[in-house]
Amino acid sequence: MKFGGTSMAGTERIRRVANIVRAQAARGDEVAVVVSAMAGETDRLVNFCREANPLYDPAEYDVVVASGEQVTSGLLALTLQALGCKARSWLGWQLPIRTIEAHAKARVESIAAEALIASLEAGEIAVIPGFQGMSEEGRVTTLGRGGSDTSAVAVAAAIKADRCDIYTDVDGVYTTDPRIVAKAKKQKAVTYEEMLELASVGAKVLQTRSVGLAMKENVRVQVLSSFIGEGAPPADDLPGTMIVSEEEMDALVEKGEMERQLVTGIAHDKNEAKVILTRVPDRPGAVANIFEPLAAASINVDMIIQNVGRDKGETDVTFTVPQADLARAQALLEDRRDAIGFNRIITDSKIAKISVVGVGMKSHAGVASTMFRALSERGINIQAISTSEIKVSVMIDEDETELAVRVLHTAYGLDAVS
């Protein structure tokens, strides 16, 4: 069971969580719980790091930001004990949850689960802080923002759990962020592949890596709400959203429990920034010169467009990087101005990426053109486009994000009938 930040925000809410955990354990299940820091806490800690030293050392950043989860794991163990349950916390370094060295964006390598399993078998509820691990050098690491989902899936895989229930502040995965589109529909099931794509283009309900890991390790993941009343049915009967294989999805469609949809979901991401390099030489090696230094600095580049070369053998190159990395990217490129040979560097953080995702796209034409038409009818200008087998993304002005998501939700016939 994993509980997110909103579910853990304050003693009252932690008590509610403890009751849900107790009810699950009372059914005879062995339960490991992974918790997030209280909502807003990780942001607060990140800000302290920025104030202390804008060019903070990621290893010390991890020491600071991992602390939010230490607090909530201890508090949940205490609350469970107050309810008469046997419970204890297991910090990342105590299990340990071993990760690679990459501070602030570490990946889980392995979890030593023997002691944990022994404690579960002895009837103790295990409470594990999400987001944190330990590097080979024995230092604290964190898994990137939203990383508690990944901790939960990794723990579930390590103890071979029957299921990994992700409790959050919405009751499942919707066709789009229900906080933006009131008519968003809850999905009974979503395939791993679609969930992976949705998460990677900004649907923050699950961290992308958690979905990839669940897919690889065959972990059954369910998304459901922790905001349920006393006496609510246990998670085994609660209608959340199951993440399923394509075969399972086919079976659900056959039984009439799911409709086959062309588009499963629409996501938005306001965390990217646009970079334009003008008048780059139009010759082999030019783009390699741009993207190699960014890759060496671990800066992820997402959308890339190279315009058709103009006369004089020059071209503009446009791409996106995470906003948090924009300043670094800009500095790296400025340093290599001569080697790359560009004229101007233009940046813009006020952009958003809107994506439509659905496996139905593999076999149906017209998904992209529907998107372009619907946006144009509302006067929304498209600045860049990228596609994958099951996704189409466009870059637009950030101010038009909510409008674009609503318009597309209607255009693909996803609005719930009220």
Least distance from C-beta 297 to ligand ASP, angstroms? Answer: 22
Residue 145 interaction partner, one of ligand ASP, ligand ADP, Mg ion, none, beta carbon < 5-8 Å per kind: ligand ASP
Strand partners, 386: 393
SS3 409: helix
Least distance from C-beta 179 to ligand ADP, angstroms? Answer: 4
Tell me how crowded residue 288 is: count the other CB atoms within 10 A of its CB. 10
Which CB, 25 or 37, lies closer to ligand ASP? Answer: 37
Which CB, 185 or 274, lies closer to ligand ADP? Answer: 185
Taking CB under 5 A as the binding criterion, the range among 1-9, 19-27, 96-104, 130-138 that sits at the site for Mg ion is 1-9
Which CB, 120 or 170, lies closer to Mg ion? Answer: 170
- Residue numbers 137-166 binding Mg ion by CB under 5 A: 146
Least distance from C-beta 85 to Mg ion, angstroms? Answer: 25
Tell me how crowded residue 25 is: count the other CB atoms within 10 A of its CB. 20
Element (H, E) at 340: helix 337-340
Element (H, E) at 217: helix 208-217
SS3 398: helix
> Quick check: 243 and 214 in contact, CB under 8 A?
yes
Residue 68 interaction partner, one of Mg ion, ligand ADP, ligand ASP, none, beta carbon < 5-8 Å per kind: ligand ASP
Which CB, 176 or 261, lies closer to ligand ADP? Answer: 176
Least distance from C-beta 44 to ligand ADP, angstroms? Answer: 15
How many Cα atoms occupy the beta-carbon half-sphere of 413 within 13 Å?
Answer: 7
Pairing of strands 125-129, 87-89: parallel
Which CB, 145 or 328, lies closer to ligand ASP? Answer: 145
Q: Where are the alpha helices (DSSP H) in 122-158?
A: 148-158
Which CB, 209 or 406, lies closer to Mg ion? Answer: 209
Q: Which residue has the tokens 């017209």?
A: 366
Q: Take residue 323 and report the two structure tokens written for it.
A: 């906003």
DSSP state of 248: H
Which residues of the shown chain bind ligand ADP in the complex (CB under 6 A)? Answer: 4-7, 36, 146, 168-170, 173-174, 176-179, 203-205, 265
Least distance from C-beta 92 to ligand ASP, angstroms? Answer: 12
> Quick check: 340 and 353 in contact, CB under 8 A?
no
Instruction: Give residue number: closest CB to ligand ADP.
Output: 4
178 binds Mg ion (CB under 5 A): no
Residue 37 interaction partner, one of ligand ASP, Mg ion, ligand ADP, none, beta carbon < 5-8 Å per kind: ligand ASP
> Quick check: 103 and 60 in contact, CB under 8 A?
no
Least distance from C-beta 10 to ligand ASP, angstroms? Answer: 15
Residue 129 interaction partner, one of ligand ADP, Mg ion, ligand ASP, none, beta carbon < 5-8 Å per kind: none
Least distance from C-beta 46 to ligand ASP, angstroms? Answer: 9
Cα distance between residue 13 and residue 21, in whole Å: 12
SS3 278: strand
Q: Which residues bind Mg ion (CB under 5 A)?
A: 4, 146
